[in-house]
Structure formats: structure tokens, C-alpha cells
């Protein structure tokens, strides 16, 4: 019996999650309601069935996610019967930090980077399982599956450990922690093929439908609620759009498309040929911006 690539990727991800569950005292799974989160949650359920996964879900909220993502998040957590912890950075909340007035950089830093660190510290989580993939960014190609973080959540390329075979070194001192990436070896295409093969529910935002949008600085944004107001010369128009990656709605560029099924999405990917981060406004802050963000503790 020769295993397919999806079977092998699935087996590896399950192995990694079980290893994390066995080796850490307080693991948590990050859940953002994106497609990678949906796949990760599905795999966690496979890994421990018939029991529930032995860790809670953590959503680091920014107040600006698409409404459809909040709905999916609550429903998916309830269906899995897992505890869902939602953390919002109180300081960002008090200061009213938002992407429209403060820019993507500060917004992301305070809500996501600082928010994640706060949440991990508050609950004393020693390992955060996340859905990042090595193909997302060139600098992620060297990321470990068990990625070590010094006290203060700093990522230091020199302190990462060699990973041989299926062996992961999970030892650490007080205050140190890990980020665990079971989907390290998956590509975007693998994720979609797996979603299709397993019938996993992903956000409706990945599929095209007519949505209220406006165009700003060459990017089509969805007007998901009244907080995004058309500026001078801008107008709200209905367009057939979908999203390739999901984050805060004012920072997520839409793609004009008619692809309404996973099969159609995969077909568009074959011909479309832009990388995933095209639509991610936070990645346009600078050439090696992802690496800098990682050193500061971004996921």
C-alpha cells in the first residue's frame, strides 16, 4: 500500500500534535477561523478521537475580523466540544487601536503580536500549536516544526534545534516556550486538496459571491460593517469576490473571482499564480518584514 501525499502529510501532522500533547504541560491550539485553522482543528480531532483534543483553542482577537469568521469560530469550537479562549489586548482596546487610523503595522503589533504573548503568559501555556506553513514565506522555509522561543517569546535563529527523523526535542527552562507547526510541510494546494478530500468546512469568505466592496490604494476591500467608510472619490460597489487569506477585513485584499467551490478554487490557483501574501497588506511593510516580526514574537 503506497500512501498518497495527503495521507503522509496527515500522518505527520497527527504525529506532531500527539508529540506536543505528550511533551508539554499546557499546550494550546491557536485558532483563527482561516483555512489552515480549519484543517488543524480537523487533524487535532483525528489525532485524539474518540476523546477530545487535550488542549483548548485560543483566538487572539483584533476586533476587526470578518463577521463570518466569528460565526465560524464559535460554531467550530462548539462542534468540537473544545474550550475556546478569546483574548483581546486590553491596552489596544483602551487606546482604540485600529487599522484605519493607526495603520496595519501598529495594529498588528499590538493586537496580534502583543496580544498573543499576553494570552500565552496569562494562561501559562508552554506550547502554542499553529497552522503556519513553510511555503508561506521564504524565510519560513527554515522554520522548525518545534520552534523554540526564549523567555519573552523571542525567536532566535541561532537557538533553533536540529530536527532529525520524527524526533522533536521539547525540553525547555522556565519561561521558555514553543510554537508547534504540524502543517510545516503542507503547501496551499495541499491544504485545499485536503479540505476537498475530507469535506472540511472552511469559511464562506474563500468562495466567490457578490459582496459590498470599495477600492482603496489599488486593493479591493470588503465593507464588512459600517466602520469602513468610503473616502473621497471612493464608492461602495457590489463585486464578485473571494479571499485567498483571511485576517482583519480592512487588511485583507479581495480577489475578483467566480470560483464558488474548492475544485474551482484549485483550478484558479493553477492559472492565477500570485503568491498568497499578495492580498495580505501587513506583509507589504518591508522586504524582510516577516522575519523582523517573528523576532519580536509575531507568530
Partner 1 sequence: MTEKTLLRLITCGSVDDGKSTLLGRLLFETGSAFDDELALCGDDLSRLVDGLEAEREQGITIDVAYRFFATDSRKYIVADAPGHEQYTRNLVTGASTAELALVLVDARKGVLTQTRRHSYLCRLLGVSRFVLLVNKMDCVGFDRAVFDRIVADYAALGEDFTAIPVSARSGDNVALRSRSMPWYDGPSLLEHLEGIEPEAESDAGPFTMPVQWVSRRDRRGFAGTVTGGSVRRGAAVRVMPAGTRATIARIALGERELEEAAKGQSVMLSFTEDVDCSRGDVVASAACPPEAADQFEATIVWMAEEELVAGRQYALKLAAQSALATVHTPKYEIDVNTLEQVPAHGLQLNGIGVANIWTDRPLVFEAYEDNRDLGGFILIDRVTNETVGAGLINYALRRSNNIHAQVLDVTREARAALKGQ
Site of interaction with partner 1 (CB under 8 A): 1-12, 14-15, 18-19, 21-22, 45-51, 134-135, 138-139, 141-142, 157, 159-167, 169, 171-173, 184-185, 187, 189-190, 193, 196-197, 266, 270, 273-275, 278, 288, 291
Task: Considering the complex, state which of residue 114 and residue 135 has its C-beta at the smaller distance from partner 1.
Answer: 135
Cell 483555512 sits at which residue? 35
Least separation in angstroms between residue 282's CB and partner 1 is 16
The contacts of residue 143 (CB under 8 Å, 6+ apart) are 132, 134, 181, 184
Least separation in angstroms between residue 169's CB and partner 1 is 5
The answer to whether 104 and 281 are in contact (CB under 8 A) is yes
Task: Considering the complex, state which of residue 93 and residue 163 has its C-beta at the smaller distance from partner 1.
Answer: 163
Task: Considering the complex, state which of residue 124 and residue 263 has its C-beta at the smaller distance from partner 1.
Answer: 263
Nearest to 180 by CA among 292, 40, 7, 34: 40
Task: Considering the complex, state which of residue 93 and residue 176 has its C-beta at the smaller distance from partner 1.
Answer: 176
CA–CA gap between residue 149 and residue 133 (Å, rounded): 18
3-state secondary structure of 180: strand
What b/e readout covers 66-85, taking b as 16+ CB neighbours within 10 angstroms? bebbeebbeebbeebebeeb
Least separation in angstroms between residue 17's CB and partner 1 is 9
Task: Considering the complex, state which of residue 258 and residue 274 has its C-beta at the smaller distance from partner 1.
Answer: 274
Least separation in angstroms between residue 275's CB and partner 1 is 4
Amino acid at each position: 500500500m503506497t500512501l498518497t501525499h495527503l495521507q503522509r502529510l496527515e500522518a505527520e501532522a497527527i504525529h506532531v500534535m500527539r508529540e506536543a500533547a505528550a511533551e508539554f504541560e499546557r499546550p494550546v491550539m491557536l485558532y483563527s477561523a482561516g483555512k489552515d485553522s480549519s484543517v488543524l482543528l480537523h487533524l487535532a480531532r483525528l489525532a485524539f478521537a474518540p476523546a477530545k483534543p487535550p488542549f483548548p483553542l485560543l483566538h487572539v482577537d483584533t476586533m476587526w475580523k470578518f463577521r463570518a469568521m466569528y460565526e465560524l469560530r464559535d460554531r467550530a469550537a462548539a462542534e468540537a466540544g473544545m474550550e475556546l479562549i478569546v483574548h483581546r489586548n486590553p491596552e489596544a482596546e483602551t487606546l482604540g487601536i485600529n487599522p484605519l487610523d493607526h495603520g496595519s503595522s501598529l495594529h498588528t503589533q499590538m493586537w496580534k503580536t502583543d496580544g498573543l504573548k499576553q494570552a500565552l503568559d496569562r494562561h501559562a501555556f508552554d506550547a502554542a500549536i499553529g497552522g503556519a506553513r513553510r511555503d508561506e514565506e521564504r524565510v519560513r522555509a527554515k522554520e522548525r516544526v518545534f520552534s523554540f522561543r526564549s523567555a519573552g517569546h523571542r525567536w532566535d535563529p541561532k537557538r533553533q534545534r536540529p530536527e532529525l527523523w520524527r524526533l522533536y526535542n521539547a525540553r525547555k527552562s522556565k519561561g521558555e516556550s514553543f510554537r508547534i507547526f504540524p502543517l510545516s510541510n503542507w503547501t496551499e494546494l495541499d491544504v485545499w486538496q485536503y479540505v476537498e478530500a475530507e469535506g472540511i468546512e472552511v469559511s464562506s469568505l474563500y468562495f466567490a459571491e457578490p459582496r459590498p466592496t470599495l477600492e482603496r490604494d489599488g486593493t479591493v476591500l470588503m465593507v464588512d460593517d459600517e466602520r469602513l467608510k468610503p473616502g473621497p472619490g471612493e464608492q461602495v460597489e457590489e463585486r464578485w469576490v473571494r479571499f485567498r487569506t483571511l485576517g482583519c477585513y480592512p487588511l485583507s485584499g479581495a480577489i475578483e473571482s467566480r470560483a464558488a467551490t474548492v475544485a474551482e478554487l484549485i483550478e484558479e490557483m493553477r492559472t492565477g499564480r500570485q503568491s498568497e501574501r499578495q492580498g495580505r497588506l501587513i506583509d507589504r511593510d518591508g522586504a524582510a518584514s516577516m522575519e523582523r516580526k517573528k523576532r519580536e514574537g509575531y507568530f
